Amino acid sequence: MGIFRPYVRKYGKLFMLAVFFLTIEAVADLTLPTIMAHMVDDGALTGDMGVVVRLGGWMLLVTGIGLGAAVFRNLISSQVSHRFGADLRLDLFRKIQSLPFVSIDKFERPSLMTRMTNDVTQVQNFVNGMMRIFVKSPLLCIGSIIMAVNLNPHLSVVLLVVIPLVAVLIALNMKYGFPLFSKVQKALDRINLTAREFLSGVRVVKAFNRSVREMEKFDAANDEYQRRALRASRVMAVFSPSVMLMVNFGIVAIIWMGGWRVNAGEMQVGHIMAFIQYMTQILQSLFMISHVFVMFVRAKASAERIIEVLREEDSMAKAHPAAAGGDTGGRACSETGGVPAGVPECVPGGSVSANAAGFRSSGGRRRGDAAKIEFDRVSFSYEGVSGAPVLRDISFSCRPGETIGIIGPTGSGKSTLVSLIPRFYDVSEGAIRIDGVDVRAMDPRLLREKIAFVPQQSVLFTGTIESNLRWGKEDASMEEMARAARIAQAEEFILRFPEKFRTWLGKGGVNLSGGQKQRLSIARALIRQPEILILDDCTSAVDTATEKRIKEGLKKHTRNITCLIIAQRLTSVMDADRIIVLDDGRIAGIGRHEELLRTCRTYQEIYRSQIGEGVAADVQAN
């Protein structure tokens, strides 16, 4: 649990202050039964009303002190627990933001959501409870035992029987409770996963009339959660009444034994009343301690899941060993530590590398200049996935300002190939270099600042069109946004909206068509003015006429940008400077359109299937 030490240092003083007020509250609770005993024996039974009034005043004073301490304790505990929960949730979110895709894939997104919400709440509630009942209960328990034994040692024999029995019940609850609550959290992950899949694909579900099937899947996950939660609840259902039964047995025993001693003249009535109160406080404290253990096992299960994420190492925050000895001698700066002000690249000895993570060449590159990309015998496999590598022995170079088209059959590795450039994943073998620097020796943040990526599936965020475009450049002017939208052929439909660029978009751009979302995604990338532009099949939802206009605009706009275009349609890459043909994770051919038609069988097959049999046959004959 050492990972929580920063929070202990931050909130430790306030925590101890809350415990201080809680101790005052516990002392007040322990004092009241003794005062009441004296008020009954020395005042009420003897008819001395002066003693009753005086001790009654003391009881009111002690109660007021306890009440005041409880108020301050509640204020402090609420403040500390909520701030702690907010900090932990933010740190967990920040950690998830920094994790590479391989780690996010390992945890699964619904599980990360549960850890960031439900698990953090469980730990927060435990911290809050520690400043309330968790510390107060042991104080009351120990204090009541001392006060009860001091008040009447003969009746204390009841405690020797009841307390061990309750302790056994607590131990049994610990033994069987923790595994059950761990399983409950995992079942909750499954519910979140099922619900997330349904909500993200609700249109497909309805289109294929699969609502009944999805209902059955959710019902199965929900039933599993119900079964596990019921098993955990049954433990509590048996445990709680058992403790209360012990409390009642103890009280009955005290009244029975005390009654005999009162009749024998060996004990006063006030002592029995006080002892019953102490007995009740002891057993209620034990009951609350058992509740503490229940909350502890829940919080422990949640804390372990949180720590698992927080301790996940970011493999991209440091230079990869294979990249550490590169030609530039550069090393990576920590993603969390950043780059020192004014220093473009951290290198051994404190020198500055010319080809740093900022991609500055010896002549000094300005923002928006093109970069050179080299793939050197690159192979890649997804972690934990058996079988042949997704990419094998990929080697090619992309000259500054060049437009490269990438095409191939479905599943040939096109999207995986370009995802290695911004280090969404790291290569398994070989190296990718930008301006001669291995990308694994670069700070991922600086690397991605120079790259604009338009994914295969358009992703827009809740907000206005303007706010979505400014994801590419936060300080973009209206002129820059209009220019980018014009190139991406998005300006026309934007201006048709009454609010134009301030039009509000629902979650994921639900109020836009697929083609409109793709054009906005392209505009968002162009406004960034990147050195490298990656377009991953981002015009699949637009018609051919619109795609032609987008290509013409890109051709004019990307003269100083190294551009990689992935496409399923051959017409999208036919006029590229060079075309890379992938087949089963390997390069089947590289060249211009005319050259590939003569030399590459895979390209010929794609051409024949999309353009026509006759044309392809004529080309092969020539």
Q: Comparing 14-28, 197-211, 589-603, which segment has the lowest mean pLDDT?
A: 197-211
**Looking at the domain assignment, is residue 494 inside a domain?**
yes
Average pLDDT, the chain: 79
- pLDDT of amino acid 538: 81
- pLDDT of amino acid 323: 57
- pLDDT of amino acid 317: 57
Instruction: Examine the pLDDT at 118 and tell me if it is beyond 70.
Output: yes
Model confidence, pTM: 0.65
| Same-domain check for residues 570 and 476 | no
Q: Do 526 and 560 contact (CB within 8 A), yes or no?
A: no
| Same-domain check for residues 178 and 247 | yes
For 563, the enclosing helix (H) or strand (E) is: strand 562-566
Instruction: Examine the pLDDT at 47 and tell me if it is beyond 80.
Output: no
Q: Which segments of 320-456 does DSSP mark as H helices, in order?
A: 321-324, 414-419, 444-449
Q: Comparing 284-288, 315-319, 565-569, 577-581, which segment has the lowest mean pLDDT?
A: 315-319
> How far is the C-alpha of 454 from the C-alpha of 538, rounded, in Å?
7
DSSP conformational letter for 330: -
| Same-domain check for residues 263 and 195 | yes
The backbone torsions φ and ψ at residue 441, rounded to the nearest 5 degrees and listed phi first, read: -95, 10
Mean pLDDT within 10-34: 86
The backbone torsions φ and ψ at residue 310, rounded to the nearest 5 degrees and listed phi first, read: -65, -30
**Looking at the domain assignment, is residue 44 inside a domain?**
yes
- Confidence tier at 29 by pLDDT (50, 70, 90): confident
Q: Comparing 83-92, 144-153, 175-184, 339-348, which segment has the lowest mean pLDDT?
A: 339-348
- Confidence tier at 267 by pLDDT (50, 70, 90): low
Q: Do 499 and 470 contact (CB within 8 A), yes or no?
A: no
Name the domain count of the chain. Answer: 3
Instruction: Examine the pLDDT at 569 and tell me if it is beyond 80.
Output: yes
pLDDT tens profile 418-456: 999 988 888 889 999 998 899 988 888 888 888 888 888
**What Cα–Cα distance (Å) separates residue 595 from each residue in 189, 591, 606?**
53, 6, 14
* Between residues 45 and 242, the one the model is more confident about: 242
| Same-domain check for residues 269 and 130 | yes
| Same-domain check for residues 490 and 535 | no
**Looking at the domain assignment, is residue 553 inside a domain?**
no
- Confidence tier at 365 by pLDDT (50, 70, 90): very low
Q: Do 65 and 28 contact (CB within 8 A), yes or no?
A: yes
Q: Comparing 199-208, 276-285, 287-296, 350-359, which segment has the lowest mean pLDDT?
A: 350-359
> How far is the C-alpha of 525 from the C-alpha of 453, rounded, in Å?
6
* Between residues 339 and 493, the one the model is more confident about: 493
Give the tokens for residue 178.
């923790």
- Confidence tier at 109 by pLDDT (50, 70, 90): confident
Mean pLDDT within 537-554: 83
Q: Do 139 and 281 contact (CB within 8 A), yes or no?
A: no
From edge to edge, which strands make up the β-sheet containing 532-536? 451-454, 532-536, 562-566, 403-407, 578-583, 586-591
Q: Which of 128-142, 431-445, 531-545 has the highest mean pLDDT?
A: 431-445
| Same-domain check for residues 525 and 538 | no
Best CA proximity match to 136, nearest among 85, 73, 78, 79? 73
- pLDDT of amino acid 347: 32
Mean pLDDT within 510-516: 85
Could you count the other beta carbons within 10 Å of the beta carbon of residue 180? 20
| Same-domain check for residues 491 and 580 | no
| Same-domain check for residues 483 and 573 | no
**Looking at the domain assignment, is residue 63 inside a domain?**
yes
Instruction: Examine the pLDDT at 339 and tell me if it is beyond 70.
Output: no
- Confidence tier at 241 by pLDDT (50, 70, 90): confident
| Same-domain check for residues 306 and 362 | no
| Same-domain check for residues 468 and 614 | no
CATH number of the domain that residue 494 is part of? 3.40.50.300
CB within 8 A of 523, min separation 6: which ones?
A: 469, 472, 481, 484, 485, 487, 488, 490
* Between residues 154 and 349, the one the model is more confident about: 154
- pLDDT of amino acid 502: 92
| Same-domain check for residues 173 and 266 | yes
By CB atoms closer than 10 A (0-12, 13-18, 19+), residue 199 is exposed
Mean pLDDT within 258-280: 75
DSSP 3-state assignment of 353? coil
From edge to edge, which strands make up the β-sheet containing 429-434? 391-398, 373-380, 429-434, 437-438
**Looking at the domain assignment, is residue 552 inside a domain?**
no
**Looking at the domain assignment, is residue 341 inside a domain?**
no
**Looking at the domain assignment, is residue 442 inside a domain?**
yes
- pLDDT of amino acid 266: 67
Give the tokens for residue 144.
């009541």
- Confidence tier at 1 by pLDDT (50, 70, 90): low
- Confidence tier at 333 by pLDDT (50, 70, 90): very low
Mean pLDDT within 346-363: 34
- Confidence tier at 331 by pLDDT (50, 70, 90): very low
- pLDDT of amino acid 332: 36
Contacts within 8 Å (CB) and 24+ apart, 2-7: 3/307, 3/310, 3/311, 4/303, 7/84, 7/87, 7/88
Best CA proximity match to 300, nearest among 169, 135, 127? 127
- pLDDT of amino acid 442: 86
Task: Please name the residue that has the structure tokens 């600042």.
Answer: 449
Task: Please name the residue that has the structure tokens 């002549």.
Answer: 363
Could you count the other beta carbons within 10 Å of the beta carbon of residue 249? 15
- pLDDT of amino acid 351: 32
With both helix axes pointing from N to C terminus, report the angle between 49-98 and 269-310 in degrees, rounded to the nearest 10: 10
- pLDDT of amino acid 580: 94
**Looking at the domain assignment, is residue 91 inside a domain?**
yes
| Same-domain check for residues 70 and 181 | yes
CB within 8 A of 399, min separation 6: which ones?
A: 372, 562
pLDDT tens profile 381-404: 887 666 678 899 999 999 888 889
CATH number of the domain that residue 287 is part of? 1.20.1560.10
Q: Do 610 and 595 contact (CB within 8 A), yes or no?
A: no
Mean pLDDT within 325-335: 38
Instruction: State the residue range of the domain holding 573.
Output: 315-333+346-450+531-546+558-622
The percent of residues above 70 in pLDDT, for the chain, comes to 85
Mean pLDDT within 93-120: 81
